[in-house]
Structure 1
């Protein structure tokens, strides 16, 4: 075994025999654009197509090349190092490596952008975890896997899964000797997987493909239901496999985000939900990583919101669980770092926010499903309504791109638009001091 790689030892992560607990962030809305985080309606692909239609293909590529290379820089890494962060989760879209029309001819484009961050990670001694956030057909029904359909078609077609299995072999061959990559996070937040055999065969085949090229790197396995349900996942023999869950307890119980709920009661609810997820450590006898936890931050409520983050991080620390906050940088939503309100990016997204946001999109999607059922059929159950609202929202995203995004892009000249990535430069950003202090409490930087 090559030294200096992070490895699995029992229920711990170790480097050269010394235990390491991961404490850090997901990088943000970078190689996989998330509409509410970047402030632009649509999926990753739809946003980029809108840019291409307004400014032309060549200029669109030029814009996003600049965005990807300037989203974070050395000053960001100096800050991360200062606050004691020891890893970053790097989300990326499969389309940087796979041409949908030639799926077995892998592209090298993605390595340009991943290398930009991985090299900074190596320089500042911060581990990178590669996170495939979007796969062909979508691994879940939501916008953040760049789905057009609102359906997790990835699990319906073996040909799609075979493409991703080959892709991970391609990535593993490229990065097999890079010790500052801690792990490969195979696929972000699978959901609505119906066939346990399909699920387990996918993981088994992808691990085998990676191991043809790379014996050292850890491989993270995520569960069903947006990586909260591991009941389908069989134990895996590979010694460098570990398990990842995500912790957003307020999705199931929104009342925990209200001021009316006593903090003690909220902590009880959090602890119960956390213990259910933590059971996978006992089940598989491997280390676990909370690959995402976080909250949408608002200036007027930041002190209360820091209490909520503290309650979640305390559970990780008390239970010896590695964690990554979602997220490091975005357009002032969940990121610790964000462009100032007077930057061109925030002015554009502030205008869009007046007529569109994620919560309105979700509420309207649910309302439209109810309207359709009650007007043309019969009222439907909560269970039937849940998957249908994802499909309704994909229709809404097409409309919002046409009626909201494109008109606002057309208001900006190419010269103005090309300067927008500067808004994410460190000197044009601010950050939440409260979250910085909280992170330092755990990293003891």
Structure 2
């Protein structure tokens, strides 16, 4: 088969191009689809814990049927028509390695991962929206947080070469399968590495995974992400591959929560954002490659939506002014960060609103930190903020085990299988509403 290279997105200097013409990516991530995130989907636990709870309550076969329906019905034609209407030209598609790899038999690849990815990529091709494949969860966890499906609170992926070997082989397998698909713009190798301490390991992983991909696929762009949830690139050496680009994520309010308050003067907020963004965008000088802000976004609240749109505008203005492609996090979820979300009267929202009465992510984080402080004060000497930071992730994994047993499973047990099997329909376009305010902001940049 002859590949028509002009159809593929390529790196040319510090730009992305298609058939020689520059393209700036503006779009969304498809978060919490092939990698469930508890606060976005409204169910406590990690991806694996949630699915295990379904299996324990309803049985393995029914759990499989439920998530198959969820994956195939989460977005459809009308979602893509909406994305096209507001000018979106790409989707970042996160997925969990477990759709391809059985931990007990890692040498034999599972087929269902391609079933679900192909479903979305076919829609991307039909609507001419590029796909970025994002490996959001790897064996052992590439960071300590729930969104990489870790059950330890430790980034063990960077400790064991055998785990990295598994992912290197998987990317070769994926590249071989998709090597001729031009509507896949790029492979995003691993989402948000963090707490990486060994620069040699970090660089060798990227070198080896790129080499494995290039055995099969010379054309697709490969995105490299930095340390500290892809905000720190000091460890990473430039890579000698013409189709490598770099990705960072931009959540400046993590370090400066006050920027999310209406009381802060907008000029001051913009100064804080610019200082943080300038540090991230400075990597272009180091690597001389195009940049993609693969995640930025907010938790939206009806009472603050107009104010929150000014925050989104301030972040996107920085991307546009600095010639940086961007993807808002996220397209659809259970009314948290998504531009599209099920209505309050849908069965999914009724379940998650019940759960919200007794659990939410912010409480989980606060309690994790408080428990570390309690442990230190009760049994040891007080500990520093630096010591507390990694420990609270480990504490939260214990808490997630408890919340699944004491909150998620009892809420599932109250609903019959017949009721539960209808829940994924809550994400059908007809059952959803959207933030028109955010759509208008996006169109301001895409049109």
TM-score using structure 1 length = 0.99
- Residue in structure 1 matched with residue 257 of structure 2 by the alignment: 254
1:239-277, Cα deviation, whole Å (9 max, x unpaired): 000000000000011111111110000000000000000
- Residue in structure 2 matched with residue 410 of structure 1 by the alignment: 413
2:26 matches 1:3: no
1:382 to 385, 389, 394: 385
Mapped partners of 2:159, 2:307: distance in 1: 43
2:342 matches 1:342: no
1:162-213, Cα deviation, whole Å (9 max, x unpaired): 0000000000000000000000000000000000000000000000000000
1:280-306, Cα deviation, whole Å (9 max, x unpaired): 111100000000000000000001111
Structure 1: which 5+ residue stretches go unaligned? none
1:243 to 246, 256, 275: 246
Say if 2:224 and 2:247, in contact at 8 Å, map to a contact too.
yes
Say if 2:6 and 2:20, in contact at 8 Å, map to a contact too.
no
Mapped partners of 1:79, 1:28: distance in 2: 17
2:132 matches 1:141: no
1:102 to 96, 105, 109: 105
What pairs with 1:12-411 in structure 2 (closer than 5 Å)? 12-411=15-414
Mapped partners of 2:283, 2:128: distance in 1: 30
Mapped partners of 2:232, 2:431: distance in 1: 40
What SS class does the counterpart of residue 219 from structure 1 fall into? strand
Mapped partners of 1:148, 1:179: distance in 2: 36
2:442 matches 1:435: no
Mapped partners of 2:58, 2:73: distance in 1: 20
What SS class does the counterpart of residue 412 from structure 2 fall into? helix
1:57-97, Cα deviation, whole Å (9 max, x unpaired): 00000000000000000000000000000000000000000
Runs of 4+ residues deviating >6 angstroms: none
Structure 2: which 5+ residue stretches go unaligned? none
1:364-398, Cα deviation, whole Å (9 max, x unpaired): 00000000000110110000000000000000000
Mapped partners of 1:106, 1:63: distance in 2: 22
What SS class does the counterpart of residue 6 from structure 2 fall into? coil
TM-score using structure 2 length = 0.99
1:84-143, Cα deviation, whole Å (9 max, x unpaired): 000000000000000000111111110000000000000000000000000000000000
Q: CA deviation at 1:3?
A: 2.1
